[in-house]
Structure 1
Amino acid sequence: MSASALPSSGPAAQGVDASGVHAFLDALETAPGIEPHSLMIMRHGRLVASGWWAPYTPGRPQLLYSLSKSFTGTAAALAEAEGLLDFDAPVIAYFPEFEADITDPRSRAMRVRHVASMASGHEHETVDEAFGTDPAEPVRGFLLQPPERDPGTVFAYNQPTTYTLGAIVQRASGQSLSAYLRPRLLDPLGVGEVFWRRDRTGRELGFSGLHATTDAVARLGQLYLRDGVWNGERLLPEGWAARASHPHTPTAGAMGETDREDWHQGYGHQFWLSRHGYRGDGAYGQFCLVLPEHDAVIATTAATERMQEMLDLVWKHLLPAFGPAPLSGREAADASLRERLDRLALPAVEGSPEPPGGEADWAAGQFTASGGGPVRTAALARDADGWTLTLTGDGDRLGLRFGGDGWTVAEEPLPTAVSGGWSDAGTLSVDVLFLETPHRLALTCSRAGRTLTARWCTEPLHGGRLTSLRAPRASG
């Protein structure tokens, strides 16, 4: 957890109508395809509402996916202020060993500010080409992809741009991103442990892979809302928040989708512009919304592919709840909201905790998956304490205990919550939440034919084995 709690207040004292927060929670919990995991709302510098849907908890780090980019952009701002990098310098200047290889004039003309704003001149995502061309040095692989347009003239959501920005910071500082940020940002903000996925070069990815708490996301948003000042101390260069949230390149139509209006407002330095304010965001609903016009910050984690719909619910329900003045006589409403936030929970799998026909046909069951997928086989076993389903696949082996009502939480071999039940005498359903990620695996074992199906509700984007779905803590 963080070194000190954020200052808090009842919603009404900060002009926030609790009924609007209730309406937002109602909408989140009834929207098909949205699984909320956490919510924090700050207004006028005070935490006015926060909740975690059990079995998710406040102190657990979450995989932020591309919300990591906003932390990388922040590191670049700090490095610029210390004279370690120049936003107007050519990218190639930081990698002189590639001089002879990088001959394309547009690649050579690419500047730090271009990769910071995803305006490298490429018209499409180049992550597969960059990492495929040179897995041992993805920056070189990226610079070997000739841009179709002059740098600075076109936006493309392009992971290697942020990777390169993060690589420049790490090379110029001689430290990993998290180590560089620790004394300059994380410690002053009161952010506890963070974990960042590395590639084969040993670098932290920059564009993704950061695991941090929702509290850390809220603190970053509040720092930007206050133009880089935290508790009276300037942590970020004056004016950086405005630079980061200025639309350096237009994005309308660049994402190839017509129904994602909040992705058409422009892109700054590792922050998106929104219809309201600006934001860092990561796949599946990891959001840091900074709303200067409302003096508010909203931090969320979730599991959804309907990110635009989730933002629409914020605009529809939460924005109208932000009033211009404190509200009086709302003590009961505030208390009711607090009680609701304290008991948020994800529903467990429906079904009987024991097989309706008795355990004889299930107690030593073996099940085989058809086709591809993350699981090849599953073995079910019964002991005095309940059931264990052991999954194997791709060199992986993962034992999952479940039984009774609700979720069974385990920390080893990795943080999971498991719920299972029999819908009938022939069908067992088991859901697995990988608690340091947005990911849920839905498993169905059928007694007839001893078959298994395994389906991701949200697909992990970094690949790897089931047992890698956790924060990348140092071993030993």
Structure 2
Amino acid sequence: MKNSLLFPLFGLILMLSGCVQKTEQKMIDNYSLPRSTPEAEGLSSEAVIQFIDAAESVRDSSIELHSFMIVRHGKVLAEGWWSPYRRGLRHTMYSVSKSFTSTAIGLAVAEGRLKLTDKVVSFFPESLPDTVSPYLAQLDVDDLLKMSVGQAREPQEMRFSDDWIKTFLAAPVQYEPGTVFLYNSAGSFMLSAILQKATGEKLIDYLKPRLFEPLGIKDADWEVNPQGINVGGWGLRVKTEDMAKLGLLYLQKGKWRDHRILTEEWVNAATSEQIKTVTGEEDPANDWAQGYGYQFWQTRNNAFRGDGAFGQFIIVLPEKDAVIVLTANAQDMQKEINLVWKHIFPAFRESALAEDGDALDRLKSRLSALRLPVHTTRTSSPVREIISGKTMAFNKNPLKISELTLRFEGDVCRMTLRQDTATYEFRFNSTSWEEGETLRHGPSLTAGSKAGLTGLPPFKVAGNYVWKDEKTLELVLRYIESPNDERFVFSFEKPAVSVEYSASYDFYQQKLRWTEK
């Protein structure tokens, strides 16, 4: 009797489990862009392979791609992540964040929450300087959007203050707003502050039901300032496919699956030239000299893009009905975008190509094997057993690291460091990337900003180590939800251990060096 009841119950459980799995798969399908093959969408697999080859050939010089995605006719036809970066990870957008901020302004304009002609000072009467200059009084939302605030320099000191709004408004406005282009992330922050004033919601919360949920963008987060305002000009973290979705929304003139998200009027204004970015004759080979829209750059080949430091790109190609997304750690961003112009853009064809099974198989093989190299040339040293487990106390240094311990266990090196008043532990592998999480803030162009990363979850990291010689150990720590990494090189030479530190957020790769006490 018990068995006769058990089997129907077991069958019901299996049926319900199957329903849950189908529902989850349907949710995934609803949130993901449809997939296709390169040839079906008019691009050869061979062209994508050549793009990958070219990107990997310049890795050691100036460009390190972390991911790419090619979308055409609304379908993903090629995508790849270089391990330890992977599909499910967010990536710091830096200034691609501005394009999302602009989108929020477009939505608020459509809802009648604000107008492009609204004066900036009207939103912050409590934060105004004692004397409001005529040019400051004239500054409006439109001027912020197109980077024509009129300040002689960006007030970067804003990031280190407790009141960013007051600091921004106190900066002199030297030129008539709307007349002179000056890239100004502080102005983009003011757009976020204005949106929050006009709607009563933080930028990320305002976007959630209006943009993120309709497009299936999940788990986004955004840095804040000390006043609890999303920083707007940087600080957003989303996934590679989320970037592609925003590009596709603009390519489709604001429509998403027959539902209008943005007005076509807004899309046209945001992605067309609102102001010139250079004076005099434009350089046709410079993608930063083609003009600027509303927090979108104009770019060559009648295209436009979202653009972030170290090579985060959403490149929208209306003439090709395509979107190309790149995440990277690139010191030469022009060289990075040139890879697209050379290998992908000219390879698009108007109609589908004949199937090429061999090329497609080779492409799939390349995509599945993408990974950043680990250093495995020397995995051990006679010094290893001498230093393992010993705590080193260090002299005063810019990183404020007072103590550090290395412990070796098989292929793994554990580094425990005391920085300021906190202690952190990281794991490095000699033959692969050892992944983990940390509360320690990683290297960033905006690391000195007040508040900044407050409230964000632990940061995902991956570590690799190598003995460069018998007395020199290098540890590479990647913050794999950002473009950035840092390196510690230990020299175990008497009379004291010395450490050389470098981080990829420094465009000039300046190095710090300090020694043991």
TM-score of the pair, normalised by structure 2: 0.83
The correspondence for 1:205, drawn from 221, 226, 231, is 231
Q: Deviations over 1:12-68 (max 9, x none)?
A: 010012222112111111211211111011011110000100011111111111110
Rounded to whole Å, the distance in 1 between the matches of 2:98 and 2:507 is 18
Rounded to whole Å, the distance in 2 between the matches of 1:215 and 1:73 is 19
Q: Percent identity?
A: 36
The correspondence for 2:467, drawn from 413, 422, 444, is 422
- Are 2:411 and 2:431, in contact at CA under 8 Å, matched by a contact in 1? no
The correspondence for 2:312, drawn from 274, 286, 299, is 286
Shift of 1:383: 3.8
- Are 2:329 and 2:484, in contact at CA under 8 Å, matched by a contact in 1? yes
1:37 is aligned to 66
The correspondence for 1:68, drawn from 79, 97, 101, is 97
* Matched residue type, 1:19: E
1:137 is aligned to 163
Q: CA RMSD in A?
A: 2.3
Shift of 1:76: 0.2
Q: Deviations over 1:150-183 (max 9, x none)?
A: 0010000011211111111111111111110011
2:255 is aligned to 229
> Structure 2 vs 1, CA of residues 252 and 198 (structure 1 numbering), >3 Å: closer, same or farther?
same
Which deviates further from its counterpart, 391-400 or 242-251?
391-400
The correspondence for 1:275, drawn from 296, 300, 305, is 300
> Structure 2 vs 1, CA of residues 17 and 71 (structure 1 numbering), >3 Å: closer, same or farther?
same
Rounded to whole Å, the distance in 2 between the matches of 1:331 and 1:296 is 23
1:457 is aligned to 504
- Are 1:389 and 1:401, in contact at CA under 8 Å, matched by a contact in 2? yes
Rounded to whole Å, the distance in 1 between the matches of 2:127 and 2:40 is 58
Q: Deviations over 1:95-123 (max 9, x none)?
A: 23345735111000001100111111123
Query: Which runs of structure 2 are paired with 1:251-400 in the superposition (5 Å)?
Result: 251-252=277-278, 261-276=286-301, 277-355=303-381, 357=382, 359-367=384-392, 372-374=397-399, 376=401, 377-383=403-409, 386-400=412-426
- Are 1:227 and 1:236, in contact at CA under 8 Å, matched by a contact in 2? yes
> Structure 2 vs 1, CA of residues 122 and 99 (structure 1 numbering), >3 Å: closer, same or farther?
closer
1:9 is aligned to 36
Gaps of 5+ in 2: 1-26, 440-458, 509-517
- Are 1:54 and 1:346, in contact at CA under 8 Å, matched by a contact in 2? yes
Rounded to whole Å, the distance in 1 between the matches of 2:186 and 2:134 is 18
Rounded to whole Å, the distance in 2 between the matches of 1:334 and 1:61 is 28
The correspondence for 2:50, drawn from 5, 16, 23, is 23
* Matched residue type, 2:41: Q
Gaps of 5+ in 1: 462-476
Q: Answer 1 or 2: higher relative contact order, Cα 8 Å, separation at least 6.
A: 1
What is the number of equivalent residue pairs in this alignment?
A: 455
* Matched residue type, 2:385: A
Matched, 1:101 2:127: no
1:437 is aligned to 482
> Structure 2 vs 1, CA of residues 42 and 275 (structure 1 numbering), >3 Å: closer, same or farther?
same
Query: Which runs of structure 2 are paired with 1:112-191 in the superposition (5 Å)?
Result: 112-128=141-157, 130-131=158-159, 135-191=161-217
> Structure 2 vs 1, CA of residues 160 and 12 (structure 1 numbering), >3 Å: closer, same or farther?
same
Q: Deviations over 1:216-242 (max 9, x none)?
A: 101000000000101111111122221
The correspondence for 2:76, drawn from 12, 27, 47, is 47
Question: Does the residue aligned with 1:205 lie in a helix, a strand or coil?
Answer: coil
Greater C-alpha radius of gyration: 2
The correspondence for 2:245, drawn from 209, 215, 219, is 219
- Are 1:60 and 1:436, in contact at CA under 8 Å, matched by a contact in 2? yes
2:22 is aligned to none
Rounded to whole Å, the distance in 1 between the matches of 2:147 and 2:406 is 48
Shift of 1:460: 9.7
Q: Deviations over 1:362-412 (max 9, x none)?
A: 313455667844363532113467321123334443211123411111134
Rounded to whole Å, the distance in 2 between the matches of 1:383 and 1:55 is 22
> Structure 2 vs 1, CA of residues 299 and 396 (structure 1 numbering), >3 Å: closer, same or farther?
farther
Q: Deviations over 1:113-136 (max 9, x none)?
A: 0011111112322222x446xx23
- Are 1:369 and 1:452, in contact at CA under 8 Å, matched by a contact in 2? no
